[in-house]
C-alpha cells in the first residue's frame, strides 16, 4: 500500500479533499487545510469539505483561469513518529467572462480588532534565530526577516513595499541611499546580485537573503523599509513581492504562474484600477521600520 494518497474534487464554490494515510503512527486529527480542521477523520483518512470562502484560500486570476490555492499541512505531535509536511491544494476553473478578479482590487476590508505589530530583524543563516553578528563580508548574504503579528486579525500577507540602505538612522532629503526594494515590491537589487526572497513559511512573514553590497562599506549601515500587511487575495502590480531570477526574469514570490504582475518592475508599477474607498473599508496597514546598524567589510582589502 502506498504511504499516502490525496483525492481532490473541485466544485465552483467548494472543494473536497480526502487524504488517505498508510502509516499507522500518523495522527490524522493533526491535518489542516489552511486554517480549517478536518470535517471528519478516521484512523486512515482525513476529509475536508469546505467553501473557497473559508480556510484562507488564496484566489488568483490569469487571462483565462480562476485559481484557488491552499496548503494541506500535517503538524506532527511530540509523540508522533511521522514528520510534519505541507502539500499544495489547487483548483483551477475557466474564468467567467463577466467576472472581475479581486486580484486587481487594491482595496480590502480589515475586520480585525486589536493592534498589529510589525517586526524586522537580522537572522542567522537558516532563519532559525537572530543573527549572532551584525558584521557581514562583502558578497556574503544578510538574512533579513520581516513579520507582522496578527493574533486578532484575519490572516494578512506581509510585503516589503520599499527598502533602501543609508548610513544614517534617519533619512534626510540629501541622504545618499542604495535602493534594495523599490517600485512597489520589486527587489531591484536582485538585478545585479544574488539577492532573493526565500520561499514563504507563513503568509505573515517574509524572508530576504540580501547579498552584501559596496554601499557604505566599512561604515554603519541602516536599512529603511516600508512594511505592508495586505489581503492575501488582493495581490496586484502595486502589492507584490518580486525578485529577478537570472535566465528567467522577474518572478512573483507567492505564485510563479502570475509573474506577469512583476512585468512593471522595469518601468513604473501602478494599480490597474482605482476606486473610492467605501465606508468601513480601509487599505492595508503600513509601517516604516529601520534595521541596523550593520557593517559590511571587504575582507580582500
pLDDT for 177-214, tens place per residue?
999 999 999 999 999 999 999 999 888 899 999 999 99
Q: How many domains does the chain have?
A: 2
My answer on whether 88 and 132 are in the same domain is no
pLDDT over 90 at 244, yes or no = yes
Cα gap 37→86, rounded to integer Å: 15
What CATH number does residue 135 fall under? 2.60.40.4100
- Evaluate whether residue 58 is within a structural domain: yes
Alpha-helical runs (H) found in the chain: none
pLDDT of residue 108: 24
Most confident of 77-91, 128-142, 271-285: 128-142
pLDDT of residue 78: 52
Q: In which domain, by residue range, is 273 found?
A: 117-297
My answer on whether 134 and 277 are in the same domain is yes
Instruction: Convert the pLDDT of each residue in 126-159 to its tens digit.
Output: 988 888 888 999 999 999 998 887 665 567 889 9
User: How buried is residue 183: exposed, middle or buried, by Cβ count under 10 Å (0-12/13-18/19+)?
Assistant: buried
What CATH number does residue 94 fall under? 2.60.40.3210
Sequence-distant (6+) residues with CB within 8 A of 53 are 13
Cβ(49)–Cβ(55) below 8 Å: no
My answer on whether 217 and 282 are in the same domain is yes
Cβ(159)–Cβ(227) below 8 Å: yes
My answer on whether 37 and 176 are in the same domain is no
Final residue belonging to a domain, choices 99, 130, 157: 99
Alpha-helical runs (H) found in 76-150: none
Amino acid at each position: 500500500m502506498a504511504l499516502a494518497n490525496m483525492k481532490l474534487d473541485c466544485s465552483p464554490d467548494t472543494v473536497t479533499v480526502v487524504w488517505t494515510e498508510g502509516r499507522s503512527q500518523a495522527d490524522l486529527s493533526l491535518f489542516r487545510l489552511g486554517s480549517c480542521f478536518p470535517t471528519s477523520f478516521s484512523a486512515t483518512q482525513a476529509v475536508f469539505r469546505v467553501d473557497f470562502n473559508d480556510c484562507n484560500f488564496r484566489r488568483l486570476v490569469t487571462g483565462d483561469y480562476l485559481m484557488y490555492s491552499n496548503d494541506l499541512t500535517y503538524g506532527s505531535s511530540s509523540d508522533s513518529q511521522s514528520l510534519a509536511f505541507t502539500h499544495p491544494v489547487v483548483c483551477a476553473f475557466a474564468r467567467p467572462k463577466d467576472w472581475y478578479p479581486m486580484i486587481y482590487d487594491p482595496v480590502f476590508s480589515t475586520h480585525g480588532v486589536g493592534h498589529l505589530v510589525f517586526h524586522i530583524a537580522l537572522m542567522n543563516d537558516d532563519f532559525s534565530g537572530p543573527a549572532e553578528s551584525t558584521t557581514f563580508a562583502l558578497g556574503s548574504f544578510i538574512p533579513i526577516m520581516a513579520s507582522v503579528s496578527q493574533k486578532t486579525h484575519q490572516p494578512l500577507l506581509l510585503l516589503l513595499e520599499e527598502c533602501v540602505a543609508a548610513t544614517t538612522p534617519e533619512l534626510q532629503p540629501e541622504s545618499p541611499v542604495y535602493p534594495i526594494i523599490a517600485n512597489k515590491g520589486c527587489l531591484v537589487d536582485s538585478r545585479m546580485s544574488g539577492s532573493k526572497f526565500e520561499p514563504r513559511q507563513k503568509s505573515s512573514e517574509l524572508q530576504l537573503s540580501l547579498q552584501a553590497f559596496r554601499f557604505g562599506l566599512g561604515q554603519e549601515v541602516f536599512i529603511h523599509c516600508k512594511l505592508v500587511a495586505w489581503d492575501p487575495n488582493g495581490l496586484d502590480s502595486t502589492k507584490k513581492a518580486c525578485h529577478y531570477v537570472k535566465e528567467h526574469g522577474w518572478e512573483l514570490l507567492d505564485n510563479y504562474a502570475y509573474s506577469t504582475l512583476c512585468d512593471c518592475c522595469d518601468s513604473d508599477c501602478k494599480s490597474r484600477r482605482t476606486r473610492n474607498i467605501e465606508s468601513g473599508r480601509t487599505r492595508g496597514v503600513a509601517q516604516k521600520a529601520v534595521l541596523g546598524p550593520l557593517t559590511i567589510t571587504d575582507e580582500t582589502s
